[in-house]
Chain A
Amino acid sequence: MVSRSAAIVEAKNVDYYYPGEGETVWPALSGINLTVAQGEYVALIGPNGSGKTTLLKLFNALLTPFGGEILVQGISTANEETLPAVRQACGMIFQNPDNQLVATTVEEDIAFGLENLALPPAEIRRRVEDVACLLGLRKLLRQPPHLLSGGEKQKVAIAGVLAMEPRCILMDEPTAMLDPAGRQDVIDTVRDLNKRQGIAVVHVTHFPEEAAWADRIVVLNEGQLIVQGSPEDVLTDLSLLHELKLQGPAAVELAALLREDGYRLPPQILHNRELVDSICSLERKN
């Protein structure tokens, strides 16, 4: 059991804006306060342009805030000297794995960050072996990344981050370009790392069914943190989601329609199985 008391990432009253050219400058983020605890799985949802990606980039120190501060394991991201420590603790997975695979073979790609840390070769070899075993990539180590499937490439990207022994993985729509099997594989891999190794996850997604597996949901809209809470509370609040032009998981949406039709379904249906079981038990009574 991993202790959840300590914060891994903290945003304290963070403001950020992208400089506009002659147009009104909209704040990309304003007054964001958010703490991600050790071992926590947070899903970040919100419409396009709500600031999700900006927040991830701030956590990874790709951007630094104009107001407030970001702390990664207590270290401010504004400090140039401590950037390597911040990025080692908090690794980033982008939507398109092609944007972050750099080497000509899988093993060299996984080793890339480690070589930059100037670790001894034996240690690099050990870590590459370990993460390849863990993610089921051993057979692919000598392959060129561009010949892999999308799901495999995304797992190589995860392996590269994991080899750095991070405390938190930031993922920006990591499954958007993958097929259903690849999607499931990546989600299972990350959930497993989260559960077994206590690595915190911040997962940006447009798919409510994916968000439903998180410990906590954080909702952004127009640069502001609107609400946060458990998936059972946030993803079942359809009036809120619809107001923000978001969707609930299919099971939640369908349950709401059926309740309008007089079905007495329990209030916190989130996953398909819960809806199917509830309908079946109602039908059995009839």
Chain B
Amino acid sequence: MFIGTEKLTHTYMPGTPFATEALQDVSFNLQQGEFALIIGPSGSGKSTLIQHLNGLLRPTSGRVLFEGIAVGSNKHELLRLRRRIGLVFQIPEEQFFSESVFDEIAFAPRNLGLDESEVEKRVNESLEKVGMQAEKFRNRHPFRLSAGQKRLVAIAAVLSLQPEVLIFDEPTVGLDAISRKNLYNLLTALNQKDGLTVIISTHHLDQAAALADSVLVLNQGRLVMAGPAENIFNKRKQLYELGLTLPPVTEIMHELAEKGLPVKTAVYTLQEARGEIKNMKRRYKP
């Protein structure tokens, strides 16, 4: 086990009439280098779970484990842990406060007490990683970038800590098609080339579904399904009952299968769907 939870329970406002169980007995584990999705209806506990994974929230009961050891224990003292597990909030650019892209990204490395040459190096590396030329962007005002660029700067700010795990709460909110695609290309590269473990909570499976190794499904604070992506996405009926939908392409494949056509439904990209429909003819006469 690399990162996961053991009977994690979280109660907001415990001991008051407003006490709400946001998570109940949630147990799962992910391997190093996995690309995992957390899905579930609004209010199912996704954001609560994410905040536990880098120790922003502390369990009411149960444990969060990193490398098999409890988060918040001596070995994984929280401040040090948060350098290794980076968390990117929803619409992270709303938290910008610096006058330049450079200062925005340098904030965390400076807080680590690194000397200015190392800070400089980390800022440049982080910008290059997200595909922005350091020379061109370092002096720009972060508020004057496009929506897609702002999102990338916010991610670069987390990458400057050189984390091993990257967690995103709904990474593509408000982005257009091309920025969504660029963002997922970046996440794929971070996951496959740099070996980062990536965990994403999202309502928009369009691009995410094709990349996921494993999927956790939350409903009303409970983990109701967990496993390899293909197994979860094939349970269309159960997902429907939770108010969740599959990517539009996958929906088309399911509708074709329902009409009796011999197609595989675990298809998440246009090109896969095209290939699958082309191959149909062969299946009529095996």
Measured between beta carbons, the chain A residues less than 8 angstroms from B244 are 179-181
Tell me the complex Cα distance, A147–B278, Å.
49
User: Is A246's CB under 8 angstroms from B248's CB?
Assistant: no
Query: Considering only CB atoms and an 8 Å cut-off, how many residues of chain A contact the other chain?
Result: 43
Q: CB within 8 A of B270: which of A47, A250, A273?
A: A250
Q: Mark B179-201, 1 if CB is under 8 A from A, else 0.
A: 11000000000000000000000
A129 at the interface (CB under 8 A from B): no
User: Is A261's CB under 8 angstroms from B256's CB?
Assistant: no
User: Is B256's CB under 8 angstroms from A276's CB?
Assistant: yes
Closest A residue to B271 by beta carbon equals: A257
B281 at the interface (CB under 8 A from A): yes
Q: CB within 8 A of B177: which of A23, A246, A263?
A: A246
B136 at the interface (CB under 8 A from A): no
Closest B residue to A185 by beta carbon equals: B243
Tell me the complex Cα distance, A209–B41, Å.
20
Taking the closest CB of chain A, its distance from the CB of B17, in whole angstroms, is: 12
Measured between beta carbons, the chain B residues less than 8 angstroms from A95 are 173-174
| Chain A residues numbered 195-236 whose CB sits less than 8 Å from any CB in chain B | 206, 209
A35 at the interface (CB under 8 A from B): no
User: Is B176's CB under 8 angstroms from A21's CB?
Assistant: no
Tell me the complex Cα distance, A180–B249, Å.
15
B178 at the interface (CB under 8 A from A): yes
Measured between beta carbons, the chain B residues less than 8 angstroms from A257 are 270-271, 273-274
Tell me the complex Cα distance, A76–B90, Å.
37
Query: Considering only CB atoms and an 8 Å cut-off, how many residues of chain B contact the other chain?
Result: 42
Tell me the complex Cα distance, A181–B277, Å.
29
| Chain B residues numbered 17-62 whose CB sits less than 8 Å from any CB in chain A | 40-43
Q: CB within 8 A of A206: which of B177, B277, B281?
A: B177
Closest A residue to B146 by beta carbon equals: A49
Known: A21-B141, A247-B177. A48 touches B256 (CB 8 A): no
| Chain A residues numbered 262-280 whose CB sits less than 8 Å from any CB in chain B | 263, 272-273, 275-276, 279-280
| Chain B residues numbered 222-260 whose CB sits less than 8 Å from any CB in chain A | 243-245, 247-249, 251-252, 255-256, 259
Q: Can you report 22 residue pairs joining A to B where beta carbons are below 8 Å apart? A: A21-B144, A23-B144, A48-B174, A48-B175, A151-B42, A177-B90, A177-B170, A178-B42, A178-B203, A179-B244, A182-B41, A249-B248, A250-B252, A253-B270, A257-B270, A257-B274, A258-B274, A272-B248, A272-B255, A279-B261, A280-B256, A283-B261
Extra pairs beyond A48-B146, A48-B179 (9, CB < 8 Å):
A21-B144, A149-B42, A176-B174, A177-B203, A180-B243, A206-B176, A245-B178, A272-B248, A283-B280
